[in-house]
Amino acid sequence: MKLMKTMVLIGMLALVATPVHAKLKTVGKGDKLGFDPSQVPTDMKGAFEIMKVKCIQCHTMERTVIAIQTGIAPVTGQPFDKQATKAYGIKMLRKPKSNMTREDVKQVVNLMNFLIDESAKP
Ligand code: HEC
């Protein structure tokens, strides 16, 4: 009986110690890769809609997902963390025909920061 208990305990410890993957949830693959909307809180649904429309005008969402998942901006190889999201947002805004407002970008930056926090969770 004592052995059973010990084994159960070891089993539980192993579960806790197993490295779990980033909590960020995604859907699709490659060009279709996107963020799973189920992880987006109600107050950020609006920002999510803006991102879904505005941030795929020039490239797919894959670029943004990879940046957030890996912490590295996939084109330039620069860090992509909460200190950097605003600058990337502004950079996108300033591109010709970006078709975005400062407010759009502000909301998307806020959402990206939330998603960075999510992906950092164990
Ligand atoms: C007007 C076109 C355009 C729009 C709109 C646009 N992007 Fe980009 N994006 C680019 C181009 C061009 C690049 C290539 C790298 C560069 O020039 O910075 C890029 C690169 C990126 C990268 C990789 C940056 C790097 O340094 O590797 C990320 C992440 C990104 N975009 C996210 C976004 C997000 C989030 C939005 C919406 C807020 C967005 N983009 C909207 C044109 C656009």
What CATH number does residue 70 fall under?
1.10.760.10
| Cβ–ligand 1 contact at 57 (below 6 Å) | yes
Domain membership of residue 8 (yes or no) is no
Label residue 10 by pLDDT band (50, 70, 90). low
Count of the separate structural domains present in the chain: 1
pLDDT at 43 over 70: yes
**CA distances (Å), 47 to each of 16, 37, 59, 113, in order?**
34, 11, 18, 12
88: three-class secondary structure by DSSP? helix
Confirm or reject: Cβ of 119 under 6 Å from ligand 1. no
Q: Return the residue matching tokens 């992906």.
A: 119
Residue 13 in domain: no
Task: Using most ligand atoms within 8 A of CB, pick from 58, 102, 107, 115 the residue to mutate for ligand 1.
Answer: 58
Residue 77 located in a structural domain: yes
Share of the chain above pLDDT 90, in %: 79
Q: 12 falls in which pLDDT band (50, 70, 90)?
A: low
Q: Where are the beta strands (DSSP E) in the chain?
A: 26-27, 34-35
Residue range of the domain that includes 35:
22-120
- Better-scored residue on pLDDT, 50 or 21: 50
**Is 4 part of a structural domain of the chain?**
no
- Residue 3, domain member (yes or no): no
| Mean pLDDT, the chain, integer | 90
Geometric angle at alpha carbon 71, from 116 and 79, rounded to 5°: 120
In a domain, 28, yes or no: yes
The pTM is what? 0.86
